[in-house]
Amino acid sequence: MLKISNGITPCYLFCVDLLLTSLFVTVVKIGLRHPDPVVETSSLSSVSPPDVWYRLSIPEEAIDRGCLSALQLEAITYAAQQHETFLPSGDRAAYLIGDGAGVGKGRTIAGIIYENYLLGRKRSLWFSVSNDLKYDAERDLRDIGAKNIQVHSLNKKGVIFATYSSLIGESQSGGKYKTRFEQLLHWCGEDFDGVIVYDECHKAKNVCPIGSSKPTKTGLAVLELQNKLPKARVVYASATGASEPRNMAYMNRLGIWGHKTPFREFGNFIQAVERRGVGAMEIVAMDMKLRGMYIARQLSFTGVTFKIDEVPLTQQYINMYNKSVRLWVSAREKFQQAANLMDAEQRMKKSMWGQFWSAHQRFFKYLCIASKVRRVVQLAREEVQNGKCVVIGLQSTGEARTLEALEEGGGELNDFVSTAKGVLQSLIEKHFPAPDRQKLYSLLGIDLSAKKTPSPSETAAQTEQKGKKRKDDSDRESGKDSDDMKAESQDSCLTSQDAVEHAQKMKKDLLEKLEQLAEDLPPNTLDELIDELGGPENVAEMTGRKGRVVSNDDGSITYESRSELDVPVEILNLTEKQRFMDGEKNIAIISEAASSGISLQADRRVKNQRRRVHMTLELPWSADRAIQQFGRTHRSNQVTAPEYVFLISELAGEQRFASIVAKRLESLGALTHGDRRATETRDLSRFNFDNKYGRNALEIVMKSIVKLDTPLVSPPSDFKGDFFKEIQSGLIGVGLINVEDRSGTLSLDKDYNNMGKFLNRILGMEVQQQNALFQYFSDTLAAVIQEAKKNGRYDMGILDLGSGDEKVQKVDCRKFLTPGYTTSGHVELFTVSVERGMSWEEATHAWADQNGPDDGFYVQSLLLSPGCKSQSVFSAHRRGNCKKASVGLQCEVGLRCRTYYVLCGSVLSVWNELEEVLTPVSGTNVKVQIVRLRTEDGQRIVGLIIPANCVSPLINKLSTSDQCQQLAVQEQQKRQQLHPQSLSHAPTT
């Protein structure tokens, strides 16, 4: 179990609870044990992969020396075995490695390439996210004994290592092939049957975008390469590759959707899974493992400590923040006035507001990060003094703004650059709707110097006549000559000149106010951190920026390149990493550029074996990135496990970033590790608001603020002032509430119930306002969830039974063969009896969870001692309001003994049959419930609960396919026995 620091509730970021994970036991009985304990979630460990029939060609010497551990050899074996299977479409089946960061995916991939090389397939493609990882690929191949496999560019045998960005690159030299994609296709040849590895494959996730956005070029290229090379042996590898089912669109070689599967297209698969909730996602993960196409293990988190450090705000910071809010409100008003004054087109306005709100979000994100810098510096110094070393995680470096400031200052700086200031300054200078007057009239060919400035009365007269002189057609019809029209055109320009000058004045005013505020705005976070922690000589910086601002001994500030005399920028991050691992520097700062592949753990092979303290100053935008960053310091072969510290400010708006990460972590737990419970009990999950309950609560909150709905809860009692009036004012300032020009009526923005937009925009409200609004929203959300529980509509995730005082007994089991996508599978329908003693308090809570507190019931039967199998504490309801009883099912509230029907095994293969049975009873959108049971004899059962009234029709449907499937199984077994790599051909020993 976890150690708990300072009495703070542990933040279970991964599968750390022993009840939720099981020590991974390999099926392939070759190789040495992995150097660190590796676990698999209880859900995934409850299903077994297919039997192994494939015999590896990797030399026994490499296996005996431990170059590849037993669990890595298992992944290689199953990948090779899966690659000998073809989908109904004719494409070769692929394999998905979902091992967590630090388990050793690199060596596993190298092993798959080596295995195929030994069998004559000399060419392989290895895609990853950074060119720096090419050195790791060479090291992994060398470490497993494949020294003769070269990693290089095109036109040679061996491994082509390429980045995803290069896959969509175009040639500038105009050679034979216009794109890198065409080069690779030519190199592979038409009948290419070698390995294609998509390492860190989450980079290709946006093939099936949400809303109006378009698929990314990377995602489409990954998909097209698979379509062009149908015989290629594809490997998907990522700890976060399937964090959401929608992100799996490029994994078309898994055969979950397509020809002769329950889902004709990817869209059908997505619909089915998202409609049935978390339970369906669990089924996907378990089904993939059962079919031998997926493996997902992770390092045990024994010894790891987690802590959330909520950083209080100083009054000075609050004052600065509130001043910034008022400036942004003023800026919004002036942008609007100037756009109207210039009579801007709708397209221009849309672009302008897009830039405005994007800058708005970045500005306040930088302020959120700045509020925690002092605390991070304090903690880092303390940990180094205590004999540990520190890794600080950031996402953004602010380099772009630094370069802009450097250009403005003629290559010189007199102070650290404020990234926040730069964001707003750049927005005003580049996107404020006030064109440069001289340039504008120069383009129009009008000489303003020859024109007399009109008097106010002349200007008024011109304005009055402006509407009559706009249309050329009406001018021509009235018989005006060209000289008259030219004169009027120039008069119109003079009138526009006033508008331009007025807009220019507003722009200048905004820039002056920004300069006044700039004295209080924080400097660039990265530069400030490095300076406070002792400068570049003490801090190893692993980021993507090329230069930095430093403080000299004489107090001056200069910009310098990060490159050194003997170290070019291209390998600087690797050099800095080595300095950290050698103990030359005890503090490292990493950005997204260094959050994939790089190893910073307390490795037994390096000099610096101090315990790592990993501080997350800036939460990544997605859990994919969060997992990658967290995995830098917790990896195989480490002396000590790391400590994780998550710093979150008291600003309610910062929950935005935590919300996104928490949302992805929950779905990540379900799909990559087959277990939502692996994440749902952790502290970060309390920040997850972007779900149907959060959106419902947000709609109620917004409507109640503009008096369109009745509030579900009371406003915060400690708020000073008129809550609704002040919150209205704040939401008007951030554009979530609109005011009609004439009537003054309040109306909601069209995306008022968009959770991301809400959490972004409230950053631009004053501290007291945003915190009070967020508290009001949280209270409303709690009420919405309570109501959902009362109505029996709350998605509970996995139901755990048998780990407490329950007695679980298997009553019956029926097995059915099913048509498989790539291999034959089966499903089992278990009938299970669960008996439990229940106290009066527990029974009351059971009732309250389903029906609400004291909803009018009385107890006919007395409390019964454990062992009674048929009676309920609550056998009658005064109002008859039990939801299950109303649809003809047995009321289970307070029952000591219940019967469950659980469908296990390859459930996806019978999904259509299941939908046909469930839909008439439960409807199309009711979430499926996963149950995890441990019987008295130690058997683990994880599967889908089938309602009692659906059992009989489901059995009838499943029984029809048994006979023909038995023949398919026999045919498949024959093919496996005849395969050249079959174990049946192995020499006896």
Distance CA 296, CA 49 (A): 12
What pLDDT does residue 332 have?
93
What pLDDT does residue 6 have?
31
Distance CA 828, CA 372 (A): 53
Question: Rounded mean pLDDT of 376-404?
Answer: 88
Report the residue count for the chain.
989
What pLDDT does residue 891 have?
61
Which residue would you say has higher pLDDT here, 91 or 243?
91
Per-residue pLDDT band for 988 (boundaries 50, 70, 90) equals very low
For the cut 90, the answer to whether the pLDDT of residue 54 exceeds it is yes
794-819: per-residue pLDDT in tens? 766 677 777 666 788 888 888 887 76
Which residue would you say has higher pLDDT here, 748 or 492?
748
DSSP label of 203:
G
Partners of 37 in the beta sheet? none
Question: Rounded mean pLDDT of 606-612?
Answer: 94
For the cut 50, the answer to whether the pLDDT of residue 864 exceeds it is no
* Short-list 437, 410, 434, CA closest to 508: 434
Percentage helix, strand, coil for the chain under 3-state DSSP, each rounded to 5: 45, 15, 40
What pLDDT does residue 196 have?
97
Selection from 165-174, 459-468, 939-948 with the highest mean pLDDT: 939-948
Residues 287, 906 contacting (CB under 8 angstroms)? yes
697-728: per-residue pLDDT in tens? 999 999 999 988 888 888 888 788 889 999 99
What pLDDT does residue 403 have?
74
Question: Rounded mean pLDDT of 779-798?
Answer: 77
Q: Residue 125 in 3-state DSSP?
A: strand
Per-residue pLDDT band for 969 (boundaries 50, 70, 90) equals low
The set of long-range contacts for 34-38, using a CB threshold of 8 Å and a minimum separation of 24, is 34/69, 34/70, 34/71, 34/72, 34/103, 34/104, 34/636, 35/69, 35/636, 35/637, 36/299, 36/300, 36/636, 36/637, 36/638, 37/299, 37/300, 37/302, 38/71, 38/103, 38/297, 38/298, 38/299, 38/300
Least confident of 45-54, 356-365, 553-562: 553-562
Q: How far is CA 459 from CA 250, 437, 456, in A?
A: 62, 18, 5
Query: By CB neighbour count within 10 A (0-12 exposed, 13-18 middle, 19+ buried), where does 374 fall?
Result: middle
Residues 178, 171 contacting (CB under 8 angstroms)? yes
Tokens representing residue 418 in the block: 């404020």
DSSP label of 825:
E
Residues 502, 496 contacting (CB under 8 angstroms)? no
DSSP 432-458: SS---HHHHHHHHT--GGGSPPPPHHH
What pLDDT does residue 226 have?
95
What pLDDT does residue 668 have?
43
For the cut 80, the answer to whether the pLDDT of residue 527 exceeds it is yes
What pLDDT does residue 7 have?
29
Tokens representing residue 520 in the block: 């209080």
Task: Give the angle subtended at the CA of 134 by the CAs of 130 and 140, to the nearest 5°.
Answer: 130
Distance CA 582, CA 564 (A): 19
Residues 73, 28 contacting (CB under 8 angstroms)? yes
Residues 624, 201 contacting (CB under 8 angstroms)? no
For the cut 80, the answer to whether the pLDDT of residue 519 exceeds it is yes
What pLDDT does residue 9 have?
27
Q: Residue 497 in 3-state DSSP?
A: helix
Given phi > 0 = left and psi -120 to 50 = alpha, else beta, which region is 823?
beta
Partners of 235 in the beta sheet? 95, 197
Per-residue pLDDT band for 127 (boundaries 50, 70, 90) equals very high
Which residue would you say has higher pLDDT here, 981 or 839?
981
Which residue would you say has higher pLDDT here, 82 or 895?
82
Write down the residue that tokens 């504490």 correspond to: 873
What pLDDT does residue 823 have?
52
What pLDDT does residue 833 have?
87
552-565: per-residue pLDDT in tens? 877 788 888 888 87
Taking the mean position of all CA atoms in its chain, how far away is CA 118?
A: 38
Pairing of strands 807-818, 825-835: antiparallel
Q: Residues 6 or more apart from 293 whose CB is under 8 A from it? A: 82, 93, 94, 95, 96, 254, 255, 822
Distance CA 569, CA 302 (A): 38
For the cut 80, the answer to whether the pLDDT of residue 579 exceeds it is yes
Question: Rounded mean pLDDT of 492-505?
Answer: 72
What pLDDT does residue 477 have?
45
What pLDDT does residue 174 have?
62
Distance CA 340, CA 330 (A): 16
Per-residue pLDDT band for 875 (boundaries 50, 70, 90) equals very low
Tokens representing residue 983 in the block: 């174990």
Task: Give the angle subtended at the CA of 657 by the CAs of 653 and 659, to the nearest 5°.
Answer: 95
φ, ψ for residue 664 (rounded to 5)?
-70, -35
What pLDDT does residue 671 have?
39
DSSP 268-309: HHHHHHHHH-HHHHHHHHHHHHHTTSEE--EE--TT-EEEEE
Which residue would you say has higher pLDDT here, 180 or 473?
180
Q: Residue 163 in 3-state DSSP?
A: strand
Per-residue pLDDT band for 597 (boundaries 50, 70, 90) equals low
Residue 852 has a CB neighbour count (10 Å cut-off) of: 15
Distance CA 491, CA 498 (A): 11
Distance CA 823, CA 82 (A): 9
Pairing of strands 294-295, 587-590: unpaired
Tokens representing residue 131 in the block: 């060119």
Write down the residue that tokens 């219940």 correspond to: 898
* Short-list 13, 672, 695, CA closest to 281: 672
Question: Rounded mean pLDDT of 133-161?
Answer: 87
Least confident of 623-627, 820-824, 902-906: 820-824
Question: Rounded mean pLDDT of 490-503?
Answer: 67
For the cut 80, the answer to whether the pLDDT of residue 675 exceeds it is no
Question: Rounded mean pLDDT of 655-665?
Answer: 54
Distance CA 35, CA 46 (A): 24
Distance CA 66, CA 35 (A): 10
What pLDDT does residue 985 have?
67
What pLDDT does residue 692 have?
77
Residues 429, 421 contacting (CB under 8 angstroms)? no
Distance CA 392, CA 376 (A): 8
For the cut 70, the answer to whether the pLDDT of residue 666 exceeds it is no
For the cut 50, the answer to whether the pLDDT of residue 868 exceeds it is no
Count Cα atoms within 13 angstroms, Cβ side, for 986: 11
What pLDDT does residue 684 have?
44
Q: What percent of the chain has pLDDT over 70?
A: 73
Residues 613, 382 contacting (CB under 8 angstroms)? no
For the cut 90, the answer to whether the pLDDT of residue 388 exceeds it is yes
What pLDDT does residue 660 have?
54
Q: Residue 335 in 3-state DSSP?
A: helix
Q: Residues 6 or more apart from 821 whose CB is under 8 A from it? A: 87, 88, 254, 255, 256, 260, 261, 291, 909
What pLDDT does residue 593 have?
67
Which residue would you say has higher pLDDT here, 80 or 809?
80
Residues 530, 536 contacting (CB under 8 angstroms)? yes
Q: How far is CA 342 from CA 450, 500, 504, 507, 599, in A?
A: 24, 7, 11, 13, 55
Q: Interhelix angle for 105-118 vs 70-82, to 10°?
A: 50
Q: What percent of the chain has pLDDT over 90?
A: 27
For the cut 90, the answer to whether the pLDDT of residue 126 exceeds it is yes
Amino acid occupying residue 705: I
DSSP label of 907:
G
What pLDDT does residue 302 have?
76
Pairing of strands 930-934, 38-41: unpaired
Per-residue pLDDT band for 212 (boundaries 50, 70, 90) equals low
For the cut 90, the answer to whether the pLDDT of residue 547 exceeds it is no
Q: Interhelix angle for 133-143 vs 105-118, to 10°?
A: 60
Per-residue pLDDT band for 394 (boundaries 50, 70, 90) equals confident
For the cut 60, the answer to whether the pLDDT of residue 4 exceeds it is no
For the cut 60, the answer to whether the pLDDT of residue 471 exceeds it is no
Least confident of 7-21, 299-313, 415-429: 7-21
61-77: per-residue pLDDT in tens? 999 998 999 999 999 99
* Short-list 587, 667, 586, 588, CA closest to 626: 667
List, in order of start, the domains of the chain with CATH numbers: 38-298 (3.40.50.10810), 305-314+372-417+523-668 (3.40.50.300), 692-791 (no CATH), 798-837+896-975 (no CATH)
Q: Residues 6 or more apart from 541 whose CB is under 8 A from it? A: 526, 530, 548, 562, 576, 588, 589
What pLDDT does residue 820 have?
57
Selection from 78-87, 237-246, 267-276 with the highest mean pLDDT: 78-87
What pLDDT does residue 234 have?
97
Partners of 549 in the beta sheet? 559
Report the mean per-residue pLDDT for the chain.
78
Least confident of 24-28, 288-292, 498-502: 24-28
